Amino acid sequence: MNGLALLTSRPWIWSFIATVAVWIITILFTGGAGAHGLSHAAFTFASFSVIVGLGQMFVITLGPGNIDLSVPANMTLAATLALKLMDSQEGMILAGLAVALLIGLAVGICNYALIKLLRIPPIIATLSMSFLIQSTAIWSNRGLRVKPPESLAQFTTASTFGIPNVAIVALILSVIGWVLLKRASTGAGFLQSARTRSRRAWPGSPPSMARASSPICSAPFWPRSAASCLPVSRAARR
């Protein structure tokens, strides 16, 4: 009975159980061949979903419960412009990552501006913004043949103690998110804004500040995922 109560009180456990079950079934069907490669690939590509999911979690927690539909376009534009700025040069990696994060912040601010000024639902605002961002990304992506810097590509495809580096980055970001929501002084305000739908704000702050924090604070997660995903996807095509 205690075990059943534990499972029902922690619904996130089911995703881990399902993942382990799928992995075991796959290994059984393959006779154990390629278990390491399968695990490495699963950890690598699941990390991108984790990073994006963290951002969506903050969107849902701080906002009115909707998701951000501008994520794919945001990732595409950030990755495209970051790669162009890096131009395969090792010394431009930090600058490229900074530009990607700034693009994410700019998109988050624009999303909130649409919601605030036009007074349209967040899910419609982010969908509209995604069309504008995607059009910009397509325009800037014409004829793009730039490779990521070698050290960035090696980091995103390499492993530490058998664990993909991008999985370690995703774990670190997950811990940071857990600290912000559970341990930091602002965490209580975050969760309170999710529970109290009538007034989404931290104690002593205007409601508009809490609403603005939803798209702005979560937006940098998308470019971070895109910056890691591009070198991995290019390496996979080799």
For 93-112, write each residue's pLDDT tens digit.
Answer: 888 888 888 888 888 888 88
Nearest alpha-carbon partner for 85 in 223, 221, 217, 219? 223
Is a pLDDT exceeding 60 seen at residue 19? yes
The encoded tokens of residue 91 equal 């010394």
The encoded tokens of residue 41 equal 């690939």
pLDDT at 204: 45
Task: For 34-90, write each residue's pLDDT tens digit.
Answer: 778 878 888 888 888 888 888 788 777 776 667 788 888 888 888 888 888 888 888
pTM of the model: 0.71
Alpha-carbon gap, residue 147 to 163, rounded angstroms: 24
Which residues are bridge partners to 159 per DSSP?
Answer: 164
Return the amino acid letter for 108: G
> Residue holding tokens 């605030």?
116
Confidence of residue 221 (pLDDT cuts 50, 70, 90): low
Across 157-163, average pLDDT? 85
Q: Please, what is the average pLDDT of the chain?
A: 75
3-state secondary structure 129-159: HHHHHHHHHHHHCCCCCCCCCHHHHHHHHCE
- Contact partners, residue 44, CB within 8 Å, separation at least 6: 157, 164, 166, 167, 232
